[in-house]
Amino acid sequence: MRDGHGSPGIRYQGMGPMTEPIQPCSDGSTRVFFEITGDFKGYLQYMKGLGYAGVALSENSLRILDDWYKEAMAETLEMIRKDLGTCQRCKLYMGRKHIVFGGGNPQAKLVLVGEAPGYEEDIQGQPFVGQAGQLLTRILRAIGLAREDVYICNIIKCRPPGNRNPEPDEIAACIPFLRRQLRAISPELICALGTFAAQTLLGTDTPISRLRGHFHTYEGIHLLPTYHPAFLLRNPSKKRDVWEDMQKLQEAYEKA
C-alpha cells in the first residue's frame, strides 16, 4: 500500500531481518543468482522511493541486505580455481600436463603477472619454477621480498607448444580468470613481466621498452611493467633496467 493514499493494492509481505551470513557457492550460477538479487534490491529501493510502505525495508534492512550481498558476491581464489576446473576452453588443454593457476599469498600487496607457463611449470603445476623463476626469486630477494610475500601468476594458465607466444584466442579464453584473480586478491601493486603481460593488462600495443619504468593503472591499481626474467637470461645487458624498475617497485611497496 502507498503512503498517503487509501487506494487498495498488493501488500507485500515484510521481509524478516537477514542476519545469517550466506555461504557463497563456487559454481557459475551463483554469480548470476546474485546479479538478480542485486537487481531485486534496486527495485525495492525504487519502490520505496515512490512512497510504497507495504515493503518492509527499513534503513537497517537496506544495510543488512547490502552487507549480505557484498559477502555473497565476494570470490576467493579457491572458488575461481574450482570454476576453472579441468579447463578445455582453448586448444592448449590438449598438450598440457598441468594447469598453472598461480601461487603465493592470497592477500598479497603485490601480484606479479607473467606470460605463460614453461616446461618446468607445466611439469610441476606451479608458476615460475624454472630458470626464469629462480632469477625472479633472486630479484624479489634483492628488494626485500620472498615469494611467500607476493602472488605470482600468468596471462594464460597452460603451456603453449614449444613455449611459443600465446595466441589471441588463448588469451581471450584465459584472461577472465586472471581478472577475477586480481579482483579477489585486490593488491596495491601489479608488476607485469614482459610484453604479453603488460600489453594485455593495459590494452595497448606499445612496446615493453617504452612501457617499462613507468607506473600505469589497471582497474585503479598501480601497475609497473618490466622485462620478463626469461628475456634477461637471453639479454643480461637489460638487468640494469630491471633493477631500476625494481627500485621503483620497492619504494611503492613500502609506501603501500
Burial 204-226 (b: 16+ CB within 10 A, else e): eeeebeebbeeebebeebbbbbb
Residues 155 and 239 in one domain: yes
Residues 182 and 204 in one domain: yes
Question: What's 169's domain CATH number?
Answer: 3.40.470.10
Dist. CA 119–CA 104, nearest whole Å = 20
Helix (H, G, I), strand (E, B), or coil: what is residue 193? strand
Residues 69 and 90 in one domain: no
Helices (H) and strands (E) in the chain, counts: 10, 6
Residue 79 lies in a domain: no
Domain that holds residue 184: 86-255
Residues 54 and 97 in one domain: no
* Strand residues in the chain grouped as ranges (E): 103-104, 110-114, 151-154, 189-193, 216-218, 221-226
Residues 38 and 95 in one domain: no
* 10-residue stretch averages of pLDDT, the chain, 256 residues long: 39 39 48 60 66 64 66 83 98 98 98 98 98 98 98 98 96 97 98 97 97 97 98 97 98 97
Residues 105 and 133 in one domain: yes
Residues 108 and 204 in one domain: yes
Residue 80 lies in a domain: no
Dist. CA 18–CA 64, nearest whole Å = 7
Residue 201 lies in a domain: yes
Total-model pTM:
0.75
What is the structure's pLDDT at 18?
A: 38
What is the structure's pLDDT at 63?
A: 73
Residue 81 lies in a domain: no
Dist. CA 102–CA 38, nearest whole Å = 31
Domain count, the chain: 2
Quick one: residue 223, left, alpha or beta (phi over 0 = left, psi -120 to 50 = alpha)? Answer: beta
- Residue 52 CA, distance from chain mean position: 40
Helix (H, G, I), strand (E, B), or coil: what is residue 191? strand
Residue 99 amino acid letter: I
What is the structure's pLDDT at 72?
A: 52
Dist. CA 64–CA 20, nearest whole Å = 10
